[in-house]
């Protein structure tokens, strides 16, 4: 693996990565001199996992902790809140990489002063995913006040190259963009699943149909495979993020997310024979119902 040039490393401000799982470790690929911490509170060095003794001040913190789905569909940001509370006196400015409920960044800025921005994470977990190579990051979205996003933008310029597009937008634009991204992916998956069923019902081969559909340059191949024995969508991100969206807009007077709400129900219907570990819809997961009722 290529390492950033020594001069660049030496000029990078002090960075703490809070939550060193899949996303945290990806951030660590850029910031080799950073420290990281998990819920055990032990601070370690990214470069060799050695323990850091004593307390350090950090210019920047990346929050990459879990934000699970609550049983009512809402995104649970309590781990983010707890992690921020733990580190607020040691970190200057925070970038939330965890997927959060809309309004979280503004809430933290109000509570602790204007020190937070949100950056939607597009990292995937499948082999060959187009956005898993730290050297090929093509865009970074930073949502928040320019006084914070500007500093994080500058930080990224130290570890990426000038082909990288860095966008600075209001916090809620970036927060909604993350949910829009996964809503789009889920919509595409469900669209392909629909046409898979339609094709099968009249004896058309889905793979041939998919191939000719993809001949159109306006259609990209991502998320167009349909798995005969694993229909619809599941996994760590899509159900949780779309429930997050539907719950949030469900609480607003004029803003119900009707299409995405339908998609969640249609997906649960398509997947009813599978024993999903994750909740697809609020309160209806069999396992979950068993545990709590
Ligand atoms: N995995 C992805 O591809 C992906 C993509 C986009 C967004 N996200 C979002 O990023 C966030 C993190 O996802 P992940 O896949 O990296 O999760 P993960 O479970 O792989 O990692 C989370 C890390 O946080 C640590 N942690 C838990 N509680 C903590 C606490 N109180 N203080 C400090 N550390 C704590 C855990 O030990 C773990 O190392 C989630 O909000 C997720 O929705 C993930």
For 242-254, the pLDDT digits (tens) are: 999 999 999 888 8
| Model pLDDT, residue 292 | 36
| Model pLDDT, residue 289 | 43
CA of 210 to the centre of ligand 1 (A): 34
Q: How confident is the model at residue 226 (pLDDT cuts 50, 70, 90)?
A: very high
| Model pLDDT, residue 104 | 98
**22 CB less than 6 Å from ligand 1?**
yes
**105 CB less than 6 Å from ligand 1?**
no
Per-residue pLDDT tens over the stretch 261-277: 999 999 999 999 998 98
CA of 64 to the centre of ligand 1 (A): 5
**23 CB less than 6 Å from ligand 1?**
yes
* CATH number for the domain formed by residue range(s) 177-270: 1.10.1040.10
Q: Would the pLDDT of 286 be above 70?
A: no
Per-residue pLDDT tens over the stretch 159-178: 998 999 999 999 999 999 99
| Model pLDDT, residue 293 | 31
**25 CB less than 6 Å from ligand 1?**
no
CA of 232 to the centre of ligand 1 (A): 24
103: left (phi over 0), alpha (psi -120 to 50) or beta: left
CA of 65 to the centre of ligand 1 (A): 4
Q: Would the pLDDT of 70 be above 70?
A: yes
Please list the residue range(s) of the chain that carry CATH number 3.40.50.720: 6-168
Average pLDDT on 154-162 reads: 92
**224 CB less than 6 Å from ligand 1?**
no
Q: Where are the beta strands (DSSP E) in the chain?
A: 15-18, 35-37, 43-45, 58-63, 91-96, 116-118, 139-143, 165-169
**39 CB less than 6 Å from ligand 1?**
yes
Question: 267 or 136, which is more confident?
Answer: 267
Cβ-contact 28, 20 below 8 angstroms: yes
Distance CA 24, CA 96 (A): 11
Closest residue by Cα to atom 30, ligand 1, is 39
Tell me the CATH number of domain 6-168, given options 3.40.50.800, 3.30.450.20, 3.90.1150.10, 3.40.50.720. 3.40.50.720
Q: How confident is the model at residue 288 (pLDDT cuts 50, 70, 90)?
A: very low
- Cα separation values, 133 from 127, 128, 130, 138, 164, Å: 11, 9, 7, 10, 13
- Cα separation values, 48 from 36, 110, 269, Å: 11, 37, 47
Per-residue pLDDT tens over the stretch 97-131: 999 999 999 999 999 999 999 999 998 877 767 77
Hey, what are 254's tokens?
A: 């004029």
Question: 10 or 238, which is more confident?
Answer: 238
Question: What pTM was estimated for this model as a whole?
Answer: 0.92
Which is the closest atom of ligand 1 to the Cα of 20? 39
Q: Would the pLDDT of 287 be above 80?
A: no
| Model pLDDT, residue 2 | 52
Helices 258-270, 238-250: inter-axial angle, 10-degree rounding: 140
CA of 63 to the centre of ligand 1 (A): 8
| Model pLDDT, residue 254 | 81
Closest residue by Cα to atom 20, ligand 1, is 21
| Model pLDDT, residue 9 | 53
Averaged pLDDT of the chain: 91
Please list the residue range(s) of the chain that carry CATH number 1.10.1040.10: 177-270
């Amino acid at each position: 693996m290529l390492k950033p040039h020594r001069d660049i490393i030496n000029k990078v401000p002090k960075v703490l990565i809070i939550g060193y799982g899949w996303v945290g470790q990806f951030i660590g690929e850029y910031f080799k001199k950073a420290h990281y911490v998990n819920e055990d509170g032990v601070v370690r060095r990214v470069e060799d996992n050695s323990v850091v003794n004593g307390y350090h001040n950090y210019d920047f913190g990346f929050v990459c902790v879990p934000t699970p789905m609550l049983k009512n569909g809402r995104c649970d940001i309590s781990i983010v809140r707890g992690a921020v509370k733990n580190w607020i006196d040691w970190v200057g400015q925070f970038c939330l990489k965890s997927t959060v409920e809309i309004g979280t960044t503004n809430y933290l800025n109000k509570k602790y002063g204007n020190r937070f921005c949100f950056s939607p994470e597009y990292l995937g977990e499948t082999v060959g995913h187009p956005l898993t190579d730290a050297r090929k990051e093509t865009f970074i979205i930073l949502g928040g006040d320019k006084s914070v996003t500007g500093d994080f933008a500058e930080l990224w310029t130290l570890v990426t190259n000038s082909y990288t597009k860095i966008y600075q937008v209001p916090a809620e634009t970036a927060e909604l963009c993350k949910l829009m991204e996964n809503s789009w992916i889920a919509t595409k998956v469900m669209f392909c699943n629909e046409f898979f069923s339609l094709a099968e019902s009249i004896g058309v081969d889905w793979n041939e149909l998919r191939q000719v559909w993809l001949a159109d340059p306006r259609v990209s191949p991502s998320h167009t495979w349909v798995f005969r024995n694993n229909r619809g969508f599941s996994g760590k991100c899509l159900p949780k993020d779309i429930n997050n969206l539907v719950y949030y807009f469900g609480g607003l007077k004029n803003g119900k997310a009707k299409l995405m709400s339908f998609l969640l129900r249609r997906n649960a219907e398509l997947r009813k024979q599978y024993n999903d570990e994750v909740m697809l819809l609020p309160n209806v997961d069999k396992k979950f119902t068993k545990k709590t009722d």
